[in-house]
Structure 1
């Protein structure tokens, strides 16, 4: 068999083997590599590269080496899940750099960080004054987690005493002109609803590049043709405006009628409508 065919076959086999090994090790391997996992990744890649380009090497030895370098980190990871001391040894521990607004110089030196390195990490977190930080810790992955002082934290709806409606994950219901049934079902919606919403926008499904629906039943679409503008959903503002108009009409009827019984009925229903508006307003604004 020609050597170039052997190289191709070895490459495809080792690529498949590497793929399944990394997949079995978990997605953590791709996002947060500790020292042990980094070494394992380098060695696995090296074994695959050497035995790919050299057809004279024993392919069985390559497979054995890769399996060993897979089993060891896999076993280490499983043990680390059950033992914190072992996990601290293999993955490292967090190191506090700033505590109660005070920089811990000894911890900086221990981790080999200079003042410039610390300031750079703070700038990565959009903080330009070390005095604005209440607490900062260097994670084993090398990232710096920062808690700004309370007066430097952005205001939230909770701080302002504002009640907001809960939000669920939006679902992609149309992609490349095709309907995705599972995301629709996740929102308890169906194709009839989708067709109705598209009719309101005067848009055909096959012309939609991307369509997303939120938990409030609003549909947002992007078309293949970028020159066509699609109006934003108006169901929620229209519902709120309609409810306010009904409440205003009831108040007007209360003032217009001379019949005391009718006036009382209009007044009570006006108050009920106002209560309904106050209750649903956070969900519609």
Structure 2
């Protein structure tokens, strides 16, 4: 037969599992690669408390539950605050940092983020970039991932040997399918937004940042207004 102590551990573990399930739903869904360092530490702490409550704290079960809930509710409250206050978000989570600009490493930002050249080159190789001269800009995101924009002259192009032979035989014109044109239009708008956001990161001017933000909002409004026509199926 199962001893009373083992039975209590099983019951506590099931109960804590259900509580954690609800608390995690409260915090929202993110992949591990998307977690910031702050969120990662919170996750480890919550997991440690949950394990301790499951197999320990025999006489203080509810005290442990209070600690578990507190460590989960605090990040939720802070997340709500950071959604509305950019300054607090920058303090708690940080902000993207430009590490490379036009093929040159920004040393001050490198030391500030506790990275060295070898670390940056390793991140670049993960993006299939092997030379600094190929990089127009590289930004270290708050989750530790490096976002790389290649210089135009170093963008990947098909090899001349693999390019199809150009035929000048006249053939009936064939229009591009409507769906492809709609997808292309949306991709162009999204690229414009990404370029604007990247440009805002390169300047310290509040006027330019405000202007860029206004243009991004205009593009968002444009997409919202055109969405009914883009999503409309051809009859």
TM-score (norm 2): 0.64
Q: Would you identify which runs of 4 or more consecutive aligned residues in structure 1 move more than 6 Å?
A: none
Query: Kindly tell me: are residues 2 and 31 of structure 1, through their superposed partners in 2, closer, same or farther at Cα, counting changes over 3 Å?
Result: same
Q: Cα deviations across residues 122-181 of structure 1 (Å, max 9, x unaligned)?
A: 00000011110000011110000000001222459xxxxx98543599xxxxxxxxxxxx
Partner of 1:89: 91
Runs of 5+ unmatched residues, structure 2: 159-173, 184-235
Query: Kindly tell me: are residues 163 and 106 of structure 1, through their superposed partners in 2, closer, same or farther at Cα, counting changes over 3 Å?
Result: farther
Partner of 2:188: none
Residue 50 (structure 2) pairs with residue 48 (structure 1): yes
Partner of 1:64: 66
Partner of 2:133: 131
Query: Kindly tell me: are residues 5 and 37 of structure 1, through their superposed partners in 2, closer, same or farther at Cα, counting changes over 3 Å?
Result: same
Alignment of 1:83-232 (within 5 A): 83-154=85-156, 164-165=176-177, 166=179
Give how far 1:30 is off.
Answer: 4.2
Contact in 2 for aligned 1:22/1:29 (Cα 8 Å): no
Runs of 5+ unmatched residues, structure 1: 157-161, 170-285
Q: CA RMSD in A?
A: 2.4
Distance in 1 (alpha carbons) for counterparts of 2:175 and 2:6: 67
Distance in 2 (alpha carbons) for counterparts of 1:114 and 1:163: 51
Q: Which has the higher helix share?
A: 2
Give how far 1:28 is off.
Answer: 2.7
Distance in 1 (alpha carbons) for counterparts of 2:33 and 2:175: 36
Distance in 2 (alpha carbons) for counterparts of 1:85 and 1:13: 38
Give how far 1:66 is off.
Answer: 1.2
- Determine helix, strand or coil for the equivalent of 2:130: coil
Partner of 1:78: 80
Q: Which has the higher strand share?
A: 1
Distance in 2 (alpha carbons) for counterparts of 1:71 and 1:49: 18
Query: Kindly tell me: are residues 7 and 96 of structure 1, through their superposed partners in 2, closer, same or farther at Cα, counting changes over 3 Å?
Result: same
